[in-house]
Amino acid sequence: MAANSCAVLLQVTKCTFQRPSLPPKIEHSRNPLSSTFKPLLRELDHFPNISVDVPKAIKETSFKLLDAFVDFIYEFNNFAPVEEIREATTVRIVEGKIPDDFPEGVYVRNGPNPLFGGLKSTKSIFGESSHMWVEGEGMLHALYLKKDSSRKKWKTWYKNKHVQTDTYNMEKDRTKPGFLPAIQGDSPAILFSYLLNVLRFGVIDKYLSNTNVFEHANKYYSIAENHMPQEIDIHSLQTLGNWNFPSGSWNRPFTSHPKKAPGTGELVIIGIDAKKPYFELGVISADGKKMVHKADLMFDRCAVCHEIGVTQRYNVIMNFPLTIDISRLVLGGQLMRFEKDGYARIGILPRYGDANSIKWFEVDPCCVFHVINCFEHNDEVVVRACRARQSVIPGLSSSVNQLEKFSKWIKRETSFIDDGSEFTKESTFPRVCEWRLNMKTGEVKEKKNLSGDEFAMEFPIINEKFTGFSNKFAYLQVVELKEVSGSGYTRFGGLAKLHFEEKKASTDEEDELVKAEYHMFPKDTFCSGASFVPKYGGIDEDDGWIITFTHNENENISQVCIIDAKKFTDAPVTIITLSSRVPYGFHGAFMPLES
């Protein structure tokens, strides 16, 4: 079962756009430098009294001068992995102050932090294979906020730690990479990676646990789609082990975005697999001790579904044309592929329903990774999400020609065609959309762009008290359109607050855009893992704060910003400078903790 279910391999997923490690560019920079110095070395050969002992000269070269040279010539960004810090370190507030009514707790964010220096690729007689850009072992970055005994002063400290999955420990014990990349590359190479990984380690690929963190029944978990969640000691970030479901009631991975059902506190999960049953849904009791409901939804394909929605009565399922297909791989195609001519539909089923109770609504083919919220309104189920016409996952073939084309596309110089699909800014960057699905008539009302074309937006968050209920506001990370050093990496240069019940000021009565406010960070400062922190006793939906990690690439400083959600465009109320760099990552959460 492990071999088959891991073929789903990250199906997502991991969250559009960001890549966790710096690509190897040494070879690209070596040739120009070599060609520069070769003429000089040839001239030195004409002088018989000069002897150049290169190894000795290098050893005697000042390391400080070399560091200065590197700092002057090279530009580093914030995708490279970092080392674990042994002990939590106290951090200081550099601007503003933490509000007195801010809750005590821990702000924690997950993200890829590859072992042994970065993502890997292989070349063999079977062809090439490489890690997909969303891979990399998970690392948790946590900022703790607690008042002292006088209850007047705040204490803040930072800690990071890898999530110690079973496969993380396997490679750590070897002190070198072991698993062969098994997602992207030549079909024979991937198939032999499967075989050799299973023979050597017992599983197809690594368990990453690098996407999200969540709480259920007062326990805390790290998760990625390709395995079970790992329970985490939220105080020490120590991995306590895999979530063990009672009596083997769940034997497959589940979504990185489980949802708590309104009213009951039950946890709604899904799990996809590359073999039948392709898609199962489960409901876990509020105390986390039993599987209340489980159903095979009888999908006819393995459709990647990164996130589901819940309303007061229903579960909301996406069956969109980003698929995983082992047969396609065996025939020489891609394991994961967006089928631009495939069908797309949204399923609404009762909380404890099965395949026979799903009501399907056909929609235009598109790609959705993240759901903003779902709720019931009269006879309709309203679904809001981040929608793109095509998927940027799994990525492109690794040839230089393809990467050069992709680089031009990112710079908006051209469209890009890969595997028969045309990629443009309009087709791959997500906008906020809304579907209204009438449960009585079957009618679909679709608004494909509520947020406009000024910015692309992803990684949505809301006040989670409104999950499953009608909500006025959503907060999203704003995509920075500037490319990172020709690599195609995408960063987030700000945050947006959408007002769903207010229209954007416009003279066009047909305009469907909603009001948006923006909080943009200083130049070359980018955010990740934003989370909404509700105010204790708050009355309005936006009574609270947005908390997010940021990194200034010019100064190489990582910080945590706290922004008043009601005064969204104002300067952050607090900026806390961290003791070490925090690479860009995926999802974050604020976990209130008792004193």
> Taking phi first (over 0 means left), then psi (-120 to 50 degrees means alpha), and beta for anything else, what does residue 408 get?
alpha
**Tokens (6 digits) for 159:** 């800690």
Helix, strand, coil in percent for the chain, rounding step 5 = 15, 35, 45
Q: Which DSSP string corresponds to 17-43?
A: T---SPPP-HHHHHHHHHHHHHHHHHH
pTM over 0.75: yes
Taking the C-alpha atoms of residue 209 and residue 226, their distance in angstroms, rounded to an integer, is 8
Strand, coil or helix: 8: helix
Question: Which residues does the chain have with pLDDT short of 50?
Answer: 1-52, 67, 69-71, 73-75, 397-420, 484-488, 507
Report pLDDT for 334: 87
Beta strands 344-350 and 359-363 are antiparallel
Task: Return d(Cα 339, Cα 420) in angstroms, integer.
Answer: 10
What count of Cα atoms within 13 Å lies in the side-chain half-sphere of residue 486? 10
Query: Can you tell me the distance from the alpha carbon of 137 to that of 128, in angstroms, rounded to the nearest whole number?
Result: 21
- Beta-carbon contacts of residue 164 (< 8 Å; ≥ 6 apart): 172, 230, 238, 239
The Cα-based distances of 35 to 31, 192, 247 in angstroms read: 6, 39, 65
pLDDT value of position 505: 77
Residues linked to residue 221 through DSSP beta bridges, in sequence order: 214, 231
Dihedral (CA of 247, 248, 253, 254) sign? negative
If we measure between CA atoms, which residue out of 74, 87, 65 comes closest to residue 580? 87
Sheet holding 322-324, edge to edge: 302-303, 322-324, 336-338
Residue with tokens 């704003």: 478
- Reading the block at residue 248, the tokens are 């083997």
**DSSP string for residues in 265-299:** --EEEEEE-SSSS-EEEEEE-TTSSSEEEEEE---
In this prediction, residue 135 carries a pLDDT of 81
Residue 199's SS3 state is: helix
C-beta of residue 20 within 8 angstroms of C-beta of residue 110: no
Alpha-carbon span 564 to 547, nearest angstrom: 9
| Ordered DSSP codes for 231-256 | EE-TTT--EEEE---GGG---S---S
* CA 539 – CA 147 distance, rounded (Å): 24
Task: Report the 3 state secondary structure along 54-119.
Answer: HHHHHHHCCHHHHHHHHHHHCCCCCCCCCCCCCCCEECEEEEECCCCCCCCEEEEEEEECCHHHCC
Taking CA 120 as the corner, what is the angle to CA 117 and CA 121, rounded to the nearest 5 degrees?
150
Using CB atoms within 10 Å of the CB of residue 331, give its burial: 0 to 12 exposed, 13 to 18 middle, 19+ buried.
Answer: exposed
